Amino acid sequence: MNNFFKILNPALLIKAFGNSLNGLALAVKSERAFQQELIVMVVGVVAAIMLTDQSVERAVLIGSLAIVLVVELINSAIEATIDRIGPEQNPLSKRAKDLGSAAVLVSLISAVAVWLIILV
């Protein structure tokens, strides 16, 4: 039972939450793609509310945009890690960055498909 309370330690939870907010703030301040997708998210939330009258449809539309933001954050983390390793050209570094970028593209295409399916 003692381990259970260690896992739910409020101080650690607050620290983890703070780290997450720091990461989010960093993305908003310094990641151009994230900034653009965040604008699309804000506009998308307003559009989802205005264009649909069912909560499930709104949730799916907004959720599809949120997934894009999540994937972009993961891609940014991959890119930062690769950049940390070193500036020299390496086929594996290029592969990692290209795969992260591809993940963002797939999430964007999926979001567009969801919006088209629901609204058209």
95 vs 1: which has the higher pLDDT: 95
Distance (Å, whole) CA 75 – CA 55? 30
pLDDT of residue 18: 98
Q: What is the pLDDT of residues 96-111, one digit of tens each?
A: 999 999 999 999 999 9
* 3 has pLDDT over 90: no
Domains of the chain by start residue, with CATH: 1-30 (no CATH), 32-119 (1.10.287.3610)
pLDDT of residue 1: 54
pLDDT of residue 42: 98
pLDDT of residue 2: 67
Question: What does pTM read for this prediction?
Answer: 0.91
- Catalytic position from the list 31, 37, 57, 72: 72
Mean pLDDT across the chain, nearest whole number?
Answer: 95
pLDDT of residue 38: 98
Distance (Å, whole) CA 11 – CA 43? 36
Question: Which pair of structure tokens corresponds to residue 37?
Answer: 């997708």
Q: What is the pLDDT of residues 45-86, one digit of tens each?
A: 999 999 999 999 999 999 999 999 999 999 999 999 999 999
Decide if 37 is catalytic.
no
CB-CB contact of 98 with 75 (8 Å): no
Distance (Å, whole) CA 114 – CA 60? 8
